[in-house]
Amino acid sequence: MSDSSNEKRRAIKGFLVIAFILLGTLLYFLGRNLFMEPPSLQGLSLVYRDRELTGGFTLDAEGGEDWEIEGCLLDPKRIVMLCQKELFTSKTSKNKKMSWLYHFDQEPEAGVWKLKISAKLIRGGLWERDLIVKDVILP
């Protein structure tokens, strides 16, 4: 009987150790995704002239993470969405300048367009946030 109860105790202890390791790993990744700081965005500029919208900004990130940065421009009716993605790796994460050019085939609809720039963590999966959502007035 004592051998049987010792085996049960060992099995329970082994199960608890594995459960705590899995729980700790889960909490680590959830905490990492919840409290991670996104890259900072500075010096955003936009200029519209002759059916072209040009712009740019500077990104700075710490922590050696790799990001996918996406800039999207949505028209007032939310029908057209012009997007551009760029990889932002830990090796290029200090003061990386990003710029874009949207060329419209015809004069865009006048009104308030939305510019949305978001960051998504490439490794770690769950982390995605908007860095800026800004109204852009096109003539």
pLDDT mean for each 10 residues of the chain (139 residues): 80 91 82 68 84 82 74 77 76 69 79 84 71 81
pTM of the full structure: 0.62
What are the sequence ranges of the domains in the chain? 1-35, 40-138
Residue type, 26: L
Instruction: Give me the residues paired with residue 57 across strands.
Output: 98
Count of C-beta atoms within a 10 Å radius of residue 32: 15
Amino acid at position 37, single letter: E
Tell which CATH classification among 2.60.40.2360, 1.10.3720.10, 3.30.360.10, 3.30.70.360 matches the domain 40-138.
2.60.40.2360
